[in-house]
Structure 1
Amino acid sequence: MDLLEYQVKEWFGNIGIPVLPSQRIDHPTDLKRLKIRYPIVLKSQVHAGERAKAGGVRFVETTIDAIAAAQNIFNLPILGELPEVLLAESKYDADQEYYLAVVLDTALCRPVLLGGKDANIDWELAAEKIQHVVVEQEFSPYYARSLALKMGLQGAMMQSISTVMEKMYQLFVEKDLDLVEINPLGVSPSGSLMALNGNIRVNERAIARHPDMAAIAEKIVTRHPRNQTNGHLRDWDGIEMYGKIGILGNGTGSVMATLDLVANAGGKPGVCLNLRHAFSTDTPATTFGDRLAKSLKILAADKSIQVILINLLGSIPQPIELAEIIAMSCQYDSSELKPQLLHSNGSKIRRENNFPRLVVRLGGSDLNTARKYLATLKTLSNAPIVVENLDEAVAEAVNLAKSAYRK
């Protein structure tokens, strides 16, 4: 469960992370009673990213302009989502911007501290720009300072960043979170820090232990009931769309980047699943391989999916096992695939009764062994197409889906 920005800022303020003066706006007329000084920024409160590019972030200097901008934002859908709330926040001029995060690494089963000196993260090159420290034992300020040193910080800035990271970790533990992210952390010319935007992801298994989280979750379910097309997506960290290209990735950034590239290339993305997270109902804990096998079966059972595009980047546990799972999926008898969906997603184009074509992008030297293994499967009639470049993988997937349409 992801929180909206105004909820994130409230949690940050309560734990002692510096945030700007702000006010929740439920209706444009609330701006007549604004308690913060102009100029301000109005932000659409939706879960979709890239709000600024879509017009969901506006800078205004007067009440009249603010009311007009708020009316436009309230009626502006971003990736199909209309905001029910806006956030009005003081304008802030940052001299520098940093990236900070605490994330639960499900492969290591440990929290990891992340930090970068550039808030504009290109997730394809994240390993080069983001420093990390694994919290291997009980947390202490040592871990936060170690990350600050890796980021190349010194003196007062190192101490300030370390203090913010300590509070982020405190929030991470107290609330049983999967992710606490500040992006960007602004630094004024005087050296003061400010969390300008942030993300918080709540571990679904922990919601029942926290009454405040349970109340938020109940409101989300009441206002936005899940589409009943695919019962499994209620528990997956994924996106339900209605195209012919299913997408699997090992991280939210990976999945979203792949989705955007498919759409930009003229393809129609279907169900998108993030393999980094398990079913919330899975007990005991699952492995990465378990989640890959299960997700392939779910997508294969949706007869509208013509192509499955797998985008795996970086370090993956047991890469040979993953290659074997992909190889086995190519040899599935379609009669053995039990229906995983309650209904079809409505597409008029339905593939024949066999497994979808697979396009596999494996990026990084850690996956060389898996890439070589899959290359030996070229003799299979339904062999996966294996590439290292993401653009090439997207082009292959889109071409396969269009060929299936013409047939």
Structure 2
Amino acid sequence: MRLHEYQAKEVFADAGIPTPDATLARTVDEAVEAAGEIGYPVAIKAQVHVGGRGKAGGIKLVENDEEAREAAAEILGMDLKGYQVDKVLVEEAVDFVNELYVGVTMDRGEGQPVAMVSTRGGVNIEEVAEEDPDAIAREHIDPAFGMHEYEARKVVYEAGVDRDIAMDVASILSTLYDLWEERDGADAEINPLMVTAEDDVIAADAVFNLDGDALFRQQDLAELEDEAAEDDLEAKANEYGFDYVRLSGNVGIIGNGAGLVMTTLDLVDYYGGAPANFLDIGGGAKAERVANALDMVFSDDNVDAVVFNIFGGITRGDEVANGINQALEQFDEIPKQVIVRLAGTNAEEGMEILNTDLVQVEATLEDAVQAAVEAAAEVEQ
């Protein structure tokens, strides 16, 4: 379960992490009124579950009522990477001299939580990790003992944080870890953690994702789930009963079985593409279920090509082929190029049934993924 920024900031503030003065608004008039009460300048920030809101026009800094009204009118109701904006956070603007990153997540490779700090805050931390991994200091934490104060200080100093603010940053990181642990967190991040000229550190953004299987222990946060509205695709996934996660790429992925889908995601990345989603249709999928899966992926504007990876065990290749034909024959023109790989039970029968005028068929998973990555790249050009 993902919290909105305003919800995460409430959790952080209650735990003692400094956050800017802010008010949630659902109308233009509410936004203007809130801005006046907080005092200009303020930031008006779309509350949707996507990164890169600023670059997409979802965050604007305003200096007066006229600018606030114009910005709120522009942001409220906009489509931001597939999400409809129905609320904004009107927040005190922070006059900062530096931006840091602090975060806590689970390192599944090590089987331990990991605390992370970087002096390169305010940008996509995944890009920093890829381009300059040494710019992020990491400290693994033994969950049996929790984070010791010396561990927080160690990772902060290793990141190169200025000594004048190091203790404050270490304190915030310790609090963030405690929240992550006590609140059954999946990911907890502050990016950016802003540093002012007076050496104050303030959480200018907040990410807090929870383990959905542990919500029964977090009833007060579970009640926020209705407010943390899903986008149309996530709602459709719930309606269809799919395991679905939306990602930021443009190669749509459908498979049967979580491991098979994860393998396909890894191969898309390996061959230079970017996955748009995780979509597991499950075992024993009938034609209607397969058609629903294609309907979902076609509904994602970010998807430029689709790879359909099915290994038949319980799921029969002929049923999958019927579902693909059934879905695609509904369209006068196929909206996305579809590449199919079938293997396992009744795969040969399925290959004979597939309408190759509508799909591209590849014999191996590697060939199918490469074809999908190339097709998506051509659309982007």
TM-score (norm 2): 0.70
Question: For residue 399 of structure 1, what is the amino acid of its counterpart?
Answer: E
> What is residue 399 of structure 1 aligned with on the other side?
374
> What is residue 216 of structure 2 aligned with on the other side?
208
Asked whether the 8 Å contact 1:117–1:151 carries over to 2, the reply is yes
> What is residue 242 of structure 2 aligned with on the other side?
232
Seen in structure 2, the aligned counterparts of structure 1 residues 134 and 75 have a Cα distance that, compared at 3 Å, is same
| 1:28-68 per-position Cα deviation (integer Å, ceiling 9, x unaligned) | 11123542111111001111221112211111111232122
> What is residue 138 of structure 1 aligned with on the other side?
145
Distance in 1 (CA, whole Å) between partners of 2:250 and 2:166 is 47
- Report the count of equivalent residues: 324
Distance in 2 (CA, whole Å) between partners of 1:175 and 1:32 is 34
Spell out the pairing of 1:274-353 with structure 2 (5 A cutoff). 302=290, 304=294, 308=307, 335=316, 346-347=327-328, 348=331, 349=334
CA displacement at 1:88 relative to structure 2: 0.6
CA displacement at 1:336 relative to structure 2: 5.7
Question: For residue 99 of structure 1, what is the amino acid of its counterpart?
Answer: Y
CA displacement at 1:107 relative to structure 2: 3.5
TM-score (norm 1): 0.66
Distance in 2 (CA, whole Å) between partners of 1:68 and 1:344 is 47
> What is residue 280 of structure 1 aligned with on the other side?
none
Asked whether the 8 Å contact 2:250–2:376 carries over to 1, the reply is no
Spell out the pairing of 1:8-407 with structure 2 (5 A cutoff). 8-30=8-30, 31-32=32-33, 34-119=36-121, 120=123, 121=125, 122=127, 123-125=129-131, 127-136=133-142, 137-139=144-146, 140-153=148-161, 155-220=163-228, 226-228=235-237, 230-233=240-243, 236-238=244-246, 272-273=277-278, 302=290, 304=294, 308=307, 335=316, 346-347=327-328, 348=331, 349=334, 354-355=341-342, 382-385=363-366, 396-399=371-374
Percent of residue pairs bearing the same amino acid type: 22
In the alignment, structure 1 segments of 5+ residues that lack a partner are: 263-268, 275-290, 310-325, 357-380, 387-392
> What is residue 389 of structure 1 aligned with on the other side?
none
Distance in 1 (CA, whole Å) between partners of 2:248 and 2:130 is 24
Question: For residue 374 of structure 2, what is the amino acid of its counterpart?
Answer: N
Distance in 2 (CA, whole Å) between partners of 1:95 and 1:4 is 26
Asked whether the 8 Å contact 1:242–1:346 carries over to 2, the reply is no
CA displacement at 1:394 relative to structure 2: 8.4
Question: For residue 45 of structure 2, what is the amino acid of its counterpart?
Answer: K
| 1:188-226 per-position Cα deviation (integer Å, ceiling 9, x unaligned) | 122111111121111101112222222112444699672
Distance in 2 (CA, whole Å) between partners of 1:394 and 1:12 is 41
Distance in 2 (CA, whole Å) between partners of 1:45 and 1:101 is 20
Asked whether the 8 Å contact 1:113–1:132 carries over to 2, the reply is yes
Distance in 1 (CA, whole Å) between partners of 2:248 and 2:316 is 25
Distance in 2 (CA, whole Å) between partners of 1:332 and 1:240 is 30
Distance in 2 (CA, whole Å) between partners of 1:384 and 1:255 is 9
Distance in 1 (CA, whole Å) between partners of 2:138 and 2:85 is 34
Seen in structure 2, the aligned counterparts of structure 1 residues 154 and 221 have a Cα distance that, compared at 3 Å, is closer
| 1:351-370 per-position Cα deviation (integer Å, ceiling 9, x unaligned) | 698529xxxxxxxxxxxxxx
Asked whether the 8 Å contact 2:100–2:193 carries over to 1, the reply is yes
Asked whether the 8 Å contact 2:22–2:89 carries over to 1, the reply is yes
CA displacement at 1:91 relative to structure 2: 1.2
Distance in 2 (CA, whole Å) between partners of 1:74 and 1:17 is 28
Distance in 2 (CA, whole Å) between partners of 1:100 and 1:344 is 48
CA displacement at 1:161 relative to structure 2: 1.3
Asked whether the 8 Å contact 2:9–2:206 carries over to 1, the reply is yes
Asked whether the 8 Å contact 2:317–2:342 carries over to 1, the reply is no
